[in-house]
Amino acid sequence: MKAVLYILFSKKLDRFYIGHTTEPIEERLRKHLSDHTGFTSKAKDWEIAHLEPFPDKTQAYRRELEIKRWKSKHRIKKLINPTL
């Protein structure tokens, strides 16, 4: 099973969302942009800012938790664009 860590960005909220999935990323983004409850329902302008492929869901989830523990917007921006 292939998995992917993804980072979404909303200009409206000026916030990142970090997640992982085994679905095609286009389908996962569609779900984030649809009518639902939860953090990503606060904006409809989410864009994919970063992707990291993994061989399985467990490794993608570990990476998600690692990045979330950073609690640093600046560090996430550096991950997305190392030249910053």
Residue 35 has a pLDDT of 86
pTM attached to this predicted model: 0.93
Per-residue tokens: 67: 């990045």
Residue from 36, 39, 33, 38 nearest 15 by CA: 39
Give 5 or 42, the one with higher predicted confidence: 5
pLDDT in tens, 22-71: 999 999 999 999 988 889 999 999 999 999 999 999 999 999 999 999 99
- Region 66-77: mean pLDDT is 95
- CA distances, 47 to each of 8, 16, 27, 59 (Å): 5, 10, 13, 23
Residue 84 has a pLDDT of 74
Residue 75 has a pLDDT of 95
